[in-house]
Structure 1
Amino acid sequence: MVWSRRGRVRMWRLRRNPLRRRSDVVDAWILLAAWLIALAGSLITGLAAGSAVDHRLERQRAERRIVPAVLTVNAPGRTSASAVDDSHVWATVRWTAPDGSARTGRTTVHPGARAGTPVTVWTDRQGRLTSEPLAPGDAAFQAVWTGTLVALAAAGAVLGGAHLVRVRLERRRLERWDEEWARVDSPRGWRTG
């Protein structure tokens, strides 16, 4: 018994072949172009998105500052409806904005704190209450993950679009095949004349 080794023929759509159709070549080029665009495009968009997030978070760290504030009313206890978690509740505080005006707003404080208790709050350049900016390590982590997700989404969009184009080409190829078989086929199985 003679054994033969059978393997895949790589790049068969681009080689000269009597069975190769023009649609096979177009399909191969679409696939190659989609992979190249997906790789390059996802790298570029991922780096751009990560850089944009990093710059935005860096700007937040530069613009936000800690401001001393005073609790205007007694803070509720842990079991109240305004409890954020076991160690913080919402309460009203007063602070001085950069323009010298007195401002009030709600922020998280320790439960049961008395009116007049000093607390610290984070404000933006206009003196509005804001959240604490992310630490540099957390900001870098968020920038990297955002860039990664955007890169994956971009690659998925390109490869998904290429898949849709290839499906459409395959449908068209099958329609042409059906048309050719309809021309050749007769009730007896083949055309004789």
Structure 2
Amino acid sequence: MRKAQRTKVRWWRWRRNPLRRHSDVVEARIILATWAAAVVGGAAVGAVVAQAVDGAVQHDRAERRPVAAVMVRGAPSATQDVATGVTYDHVTAEVRWTDTGGTVRTSETSVKAGTAAGSAVTVWTDGRGRLVSGPISSAEAATRVGLAGAGAGLVDGLLILAAGRMVRLRIERQATDQWAVEWDRMGPQGGRRTG
């Protein structure tokens, strides 16, 4: 027994064809418009989000300031996780520093294990004088901006494609209903009524 071969005709919706329906042309235009909107809209949204994230990252990096602090007590020595065997070379310890307003502050931060009391350490503060982690590197900032822009562009493009697919399904459903009406009108024998 021979297997039936399926022939795929590219761009069939755009060619003149006696079997082509109006809904086929509308569907083709919707496909074209959807893909164009997904590409252009995704790129535009991605660029806008990347620019916004870049501004936020640059503002955050500019706001962090290094401050000289002093160890209040000596930091404990390095600890080892019993379960995994990993040695932690940074521990939490109390430090004291003077903020830009002249107020002496104390807080806990991560320091190198075994640092002696009275040792000078550098800590990072935000615009309000609170301790924060150090600023991210330029490479990490670029990665965050790129991932945020690409992710937003991809999500936007997928939403546009999904909306286009919903419209196409509605058109296909209407075309199928129209076929059913025409089929009922023609009858099962191609126009000859039985009975």
- TM-score, normalised on structure 1? 0.80
State the SS of the aligned residue for 1:68.
strand
- Superposed displacement of residue 85, structure 1: 6.0
Q: How does 1:1-193 map to 2 (within 5 A)?
A: 8-10=9-11, 12-79=12-79, 86-185=88-187, 191-192=192-193
| Aligned counterpart, 1:3 | none
CA contact (8 A) 1:41 1:155 kept: yes
State the SS of the aligned residue for 1:192.
coil
Aligned-partner Cα distance in 2 for 1:15–1:104: 77
State the SS of the aligned residue for 2:88.
coil
Amino acid of the structure 1 residue aligned with 2:111? V
Amino acid of the structure 1 residue aligned with 2:77? G
State the SS of the aligned residue for 1:125.
coil
Aligned-partner Cα distance in 2 for 1:108–1:177: 72
- Superposed displacement of residue 127, structure 1: 0.8
Aligned-partner Cα distance in 2 for 1:80–1:137: 31
- TM-score, normalised on structure 2? 0.80
Aligned-partner Cα distance in 2 for 1:72–1:182: 91
- Percent sequence identity is 42
Between 61-70 and 143-152, report the one with greater CA deviation: 143-152
State the SS of the aligned residue for 2:79.
coil
- Superposed displacement of residue 66, structure 1: 0.4
- Superposed displacement of residue 141, structure 1: 2.8
- Superposed displacement of residue 190, structure 1: 6.6
Amino acid of the structure 2 residue aligned with 1:138? E
Amino acid of the structure 2 residue aligned with 1:55? G
Aligned-partner Cα distance in 1 for 2:91–2:182: 76
Amino acid of the structure 1 residue aligned with 2:177? E
| Aligned counterpart, 2:3 | none
Amino acid of the structure 2 residue aligned with 1:42? G
Return closer, same or farther for 1:143/1:105 CA change in 2, 3 Å cut-off: same
CA contact (8 A) 1:122 1:132 kept: yes
The aligned length equals: 184
Structure 1, gaps ≥5 residues long = 1-5
Amino acid of the structure 2 residue aligned with 1:8? V
Backbone CA RMSD of aligned residues: 2.7
Aligned-partner Cα distance in 2 for 1:116–1:80: 25
Structure 1 runs of 4+ with >6 Å offset: none
Aligned-partner Cα distance in 2 for 1:92–1:13: 72
Between 14-23 and 175-184, report the one with greater CA deviation: 175-184
- Superposed displacement of residue 169, structure 1: 2.3
CA contact (8 A) 1:57 1:133 kept: no
CA contact (8 A) 2:124 2:134 kept: yes
State the SS of the aligned residue for 1:107.
strand
Between 174-183 and 41-50, report the one with greater CA deviation: 174-183
Amino acid of the structure 2 residue aligned with 1:192? R
- Superposed displacement of residue 138, structure 1: 2.6
